[in-house]
Structure 1
Amino acid sequence: MTLRWLLSLLLLVAAPLAAKTELAETRLDAAALAQLKQAHLGQRWLVLCWSLDCPACLKELSQIAALQRRYENLALVFINTDADDELEPERQQRLAQFELSGFRHLYFADGLAAQSRYVLDSGWYGELPRSYFVDELGHWRGSSGLLEAAQIRQWLVPGGVNDTHVVPAPAAGQG
């Protein structure tokens, strides 16, 4: 009886830890985007769009992996733009490689890249990497190209950047 009780206790303690490491992805649509915006209202956050065939995107994922080891509770959301359900195992493998399972992940619907881009940003033509700086009021500012780690730190880490040169963050309210 004692062994069974210990095993039950172990499962109760371990289950939440195991759940945190599972990668849950959500298909990007208008409802998912609205829910995401509501969940982050009142805080700065960053949306990073990436693809498996984008070397700069993979470099950005690597930078985020290093930042998350140094800073807790980074408000990041990742959106994969591949729009191919057959790539799901490779997509999940890449995110696991960079230890990014603790963040929110969305993906473009299979075969619907243009429609998914439009849901996210009607003025975006798909260039990658693509980032969106979102301020506390919910204002979005899109940026194409590889972000520097200092830009990400300044936007997401309270107190900004102390240990490297300061790279200006987008002004609040732009976008």
Structure 2
Amino acid sequence: MMRSRRQLLVAAAFSALALLAGTANAAAQADDRVAVFDSANAVRIAASQDGKPFVLVVWSLDCVYCKHNFDALGKLRARHPGLRVVTLSTDSAEALPQLRQVLQRVSLTRHAWVFGHEPQERLRYAVDPDWMGEMPRTYFYRADGQRQGVSGVISASDWDRHLRWAGIAG
């Protein structure tokens, strides 16, 4: 009889550990969630930042120059740990495994979006009517909602200038 109680306690302990591990895994997966962007979501990106200044980085898996912006962002986040970054991939949702891999490598898994199934032109227009699809494309948002869009690779001094404009860095 004593032995079966001990076995029950051990089984209960293992069950509790498995439950905790599953909860931790679900929380990690929630951080890695990539939301699907459609034209109606354009306003939600800015709203998701609760009125705080942030950077929106538009990128693609096949954009060689986007890697340079991600490298620069890694250095900037080391200097400014509170830097809020939202990513928007222009790839299709079918590329989610590759997108997650890149985002994990550059530690930008939170606030990640990927283009949905609407035509690319419509999705680009929803982001910015003046944007013609060149990449990388980076938007600096101020707390009051104003934004500046920059196409191409951004130099270190330009990053600092744009971040100051947005009220992100002093």
Partner of 1:61: 70
1:119 equivalenced with 2:126 (yes/no): yes
Instruction: Evaluate the alpha carbon distance shift between residue 89 and residue 121 of structure 1 in structure 2; reply closer, same or farther with a 3 A threshold.
Output: same
Structure 1 contact 57–128 (Cα < 8 Å) conserved: yes
Classify the secondary structure of the residue corresponding to 1:127. coil
- Shift of residue 136 of structure 1? 1.0
Whichever structure has more helix as a proportion of its residues is: 2
Q: Which amino acid aligns with 1:43?
A: K
- Which moved further from structure 2: 123-132 or 142-151? 142-151
Q: Which amino acid aligns with 1:79?
A: L
Instruction: Evaluate the alpha carbon distance shift between residue 104 and residue 149 of structure 1 in structure 2; reply closer, same or farther with a 3 A threshold.
Output: farther
Partner of 2:153: 146
Deviations 1:4-32 (A, max 9, x none): 45873785598458624641111212432
Q: Which amino acid aligns with 1:24?
A: R
Structure 2 contact 89–115 (Cα < 8 Å) conserved: yes
1:40 equivalenced with 2:49 (yes/no): yes
Partner of 2:143: 136
Aligned sequence identity (%): 27
Instruction: Evaluate the alpha carbon distance shift between residue 68 and residue 36 of structure 1 in structure 2; reply closer, same or farther with a 3 A threshold.
Output: same
- Shift of residue 87 of structure 1? 2.3
- Which moved further from structure 2: 138-147 or 69-78? 69-78
Partner of 1:169: none
CA distance in 2, matches of 1:127, 1:159: 26
Instruction: Evaluate the alpha carbon distance shift between residue 28 and residue 159 of structure 1 in structure 2; reply closer, same or farther with a 3 A threshold.
Output: closer
Instruction: Evaluate the alpha carbon distance shift between residue 72 and residue 19 of structure 1 in structure 2; reply closer, same or farther with a 3 A threshold.
Output: farther
How many aligned residue pairs are there? 158
1:49 equivalenced with 2:55 (yes/no): no
- Tell me how large the CA RMSD over aligned residues is: 3.0
Q: Which amino acid aligns with 2:84?
A: A
1:99 equivalenced with 2:107 (yes/no): yes
Q: Which runs of 5+ in 1 are unaligned?
A: 161-175
Larger radius of gyration: 2
1:109 equivalenced with 2:116 (yes/no): yes
Instruction: Evaluate the alpha carbon distance shift between residue 64 and residue 159 of structure 1 in structure 2; reply closer, same or farther with a 3 A threshold.
Output: closer
Structure 1 contact 41–138 (Cα < 8 Å) conserved: no
